[in-house]
Amino acid sequence: MIHQICSRPISSASSRREFLYGLGASLGSVAMTNMLAKEAAPSILQNPLAPQAPLNPAKAKNVIMLFMEGGPGHMDTFDPKPKLNQLHKSESKLAAGLETGFKFFVGSPFTFSKVGQSGIEMCDEFQYLRDPEIVDELCNYRGCQAESLNHPEALFHMNTGSRLGADPALGAWATYGLGSSNQNLPGYVVMTENALPQGGSRNWSNGFLPAYHQGTALRPTGSPILDLQSQGYKSRAHQRAALDALGYLNQEHASHHPEHADLAARIESYELAYRMQMEVPEVVAIDDEPEYMKEMYGLNDTDTADFGRQCLMARRLVEKGTRFVQIFSGGWDSHDYLERGHRARIRSVDRPMAALIKDLKQRGMLEDTLVIWTGEFGRTPDNNKRGGVYSIGRGHNANAMTMLMAGGGVKAGSIVGATDEIGAEAVDVKHPIRDFHCTLLHLLGLDDNKLTYFHAGRYKQLSQFGGKVIQELIA
């Protein structure tokens, strides 16, 4: 997390402005490009997470990203490959992938249907998502290509634009560019399953962006944020008294140090913490939701309750002003027992994500909330033997994958791009991950080429070296 304060040519002017507004140089990193390009009022410097107007007209204001860790098989979810069923268990000579030795093709264990007016293809394991009301909101993108065949690198790539695990995550760039509209809640929230995904918190790191932009992990159990609440024997009044005593000492001290503007920022961070102590528990208290809502998200079913709770929480967070929410759902890495594995995973996410889209739509939030469902890569059409047995599963595939999107200005009810007839490789509207990232920023009204941060001698950007907006995805 090397963070070098903006030192672009105009830095002295900007630092002066920060200074005049009573804040430290460490706050100087508010989307500088944005600000300077548009000469925004300096008052927004007062808070690095203050909401900011996007550079361009935005389709989406918020993002909810459902991350299927492990890599769902595209040919087992939204991109049927009947050819594979014909080839099932026959020898595969494909060179890609990491599997070695005798390889054979694997047909999907699932049946598929075209659903909705748009005829989006979907495996029949999806029971809820096929609801016509939802399905015609979806955009299925089949052209994205990853680069890494290994989970953490591929996760880092999809989440941060770099395979190295040290760069800012998508959500960090989003809050850097747009701020967040509720100052009592984190602007970028991450929820994981029981276990952290491979690579851990590097997947939602602020990287070289200032620490304000780091993803806040809402923990699945225990305190939603580490040490959010004071020790059990200390009441809120006790907390207030402590903050007041602290405030007294800090005030005394600050009066002797006008040169050190960061003191004020630190005092404010304590007050924000105090407010978050109230607001965060409220937003995670989903028991307040009406029964039909809990039912809709699948909270009453043990198989869907965890992901359902997180999807419901995501909606509540976005409603309250959180900019970017990410939910990680693991277990998609079906090298074997594909049918059992994918069936269970699909079941665990189907109902909650259908409910999320429906709920957002009913509340009129879908048009400015971009929902994304993706893994870190797709899966291979073939597999090798494991323990000497034909294992019906699939390897990692960086050349093809599948994504679902809804809302936020994407082309509803459409299938964009295509993979070849066995799903080995994307062949149409083929784009690397960086183009997907540029598109995401574009939908948020941001321009990857303009949303930059000067670090270690270079203006850095999410796509690393620039990319293209995938126009076909945009409504």
Partner 1 sequence: MNSRIPLTLLTGFALSSQALAEFSDEDRHFTLKVLPLLTEKCFGCHGDPNQKLKGGLDMTSLEKLLHGGDNFTNVLVPGDAEASFLMTTVRWDDEDYEMPPKENDRLDEKQIADLEQWINSGATWPEESVQEKIYLAEREREVTDEGVLIKTSGGLADTWTYRRYQAEDVWAFRPLDRSVEPVAQSAHPVDSFISAKMEEAGVAKAPQADARTLLRRAYFDLTGLPPTPEATESFLTAYAADEEKAWTDLIDQLLDSPQYGERWAQHWLDIARYADTGGMSNDYERSNAWRYRDYVIRSLNEDKPYDQFIMEQIAGDELADTSLRKRTPDWDQYQTAREEGHYSEKEAELLIASGFLRMGPWDPAMVKVEEARQMYLDDVINSVGQTFLSTTMRCFKCHDHKFDPLPARDYYRFYASFATTQLAERQAPFLEVEERAGFEEGKELVEELLSYATEKKDELFNKQEDAAKAWYAERGKPYVTLEERKDLPDEEKPPRMVGLDHIEQGRLKVREQDVWIWTRRLERYQPMVQSVYNGPDSKWANARKLRMNTKGNADWVPNSTILSGGSIEAPGVPVTPGVLSALGLPSPTASESDPYKLPEDQFGRRRALAEWIAHPDNALTARSIVNRIWQYHFGKPIAGTPNNFGVKGAKPTHPELLDWMAADFVENGWTFKRLHRLIMTSDTYRQSAQHPDFDKLVNGDPNNDLFAYFPVRRLTAEEIRDGMLQITGELNLAQGGLPARPEINMEVALQPRMIQFSLAPAYQPSPTPEERNRRSVYGYRVRGMADPFLETFNQPNPNDSCAVRDAASVSPQAFTLMNSDLVTDRSIAFALRLEKEAATRDEQITRAFQLALGREPKADEAAKMKDYIAEMENYHQDSHPTKREYPTKITRTLIEEFSGQPFQYEEILPVFENYQPDTQAAEVPPATRALADFCLVLFNCNEFVHLY
Nearer to partner 1, 252 or 291 (CB): 252
- Cα 473 to Cα 410: distance, rounded to the nearest angstrom: 6
Residues 393-432 vs partner 1: string with x where CB under 8 A? x--x------------------------------------
Which of 35, 40, 50, 228 is close enough to bind partner 1 by CB under 8 A?
A: 228
Residue whose entry in the numeric block shows the structure tokens 């890495």: 333
List the beta strands (DSSP E) in 28-165.
62-68, 103-105, 112-115, 120-123, 138-141, 144-145
- Which residues in 361-400 contact partner 1 (CB under 8 A)? 386-391, 393, 396
Nearer to partner 1, 14 or 369 (CB): 14
Closest approach of partner 1 to the CB of residue 263, in Å:
5
- Which residues in 55-74 contact partner 1 (CB under 8 A)? 70
Query: Quick check: 193 binds partner 1 (CB under 8 A)?
Result: yes
- Which residues in 319-358 contact partner 1 (CB under 8 A)? 330-337, 340-345, 348
Closest approach of partner 1 to the CB of residue 105, in Å:
16
With CB under 8 A as the rule, give the number of residues binding partner 1. Answer: 118
- Which residues in 2-31 contact partner 1 (CB under 8 A)? 2-4, 7, 11-12, 15-16, 19-20, 24-27
Closest approach of partner 1 to the CB of residue 326, in Å:
16
Closest approach of partner 1 to the CB of residue 191, in Å:
13
Task: Give Cα separations from 248 to 242, 251, 275 (angstroms).
Answer: 10, 5, 19
What are the beta bridge partners of residue 65?
326, 372
Nearer to partner 1, 211 or 285 (CB): 211
φ, ψ for residue 328 (rounded to 5)? -100, 130
Closest approach of partner 1 to the CB of residue 100, in Å:
11
Which of 198, 380, 383, 402 is close enough to bind partner 1 by CB under 8 A?
A: 198
**Other beta carbons within 10 Å of 373:** 26
Of the candidates 470, 446, 471, the residue with the CA atom closest to the CA atom of residue 31: 446
Q: Please report, in angstroms and rounded to a whole number, the separation of the first and last CA atoms in the chain.
A: 37
Which of 54, 80, 179, 199 is close enough to bind partner 1 by CB under 8 A?
A: 199
- Which residues in 119-178 contact partner 1 (CB under 8 A)? 148-153, 164-166
- Which residues in 83-122 contact partner 1 (CB under 8 A)? 98
Handedness of CA 24, 27, 28, 34 (dihedral sign): negative
Whether 424 and 397 have beta carbons less than 8 Å apart is answered as yes
CA atoms within 13 A on the CB side of 403: 31
- Which residues in 251-310 contact partner 1 (CB under 8 A)? 252-254, 256-260, 262-263, 265-270, 272-273, 276
Both tokens assigned to 234: 């200390």
Contacts of 15 (CB under 8 A, 6+ apart): 5, 25, 28
Nearer to partner 1, 117 or 231 (CB): 231
Question: What radius of gyration do the chain's Cα atoms show?
Answer: 23
Task: Give Cα separations from 32 to 209, 263, 345 (angstroms).
Answer: 11, 22, 42
Nearer to partner 1, 243 or 286 (CB): 243
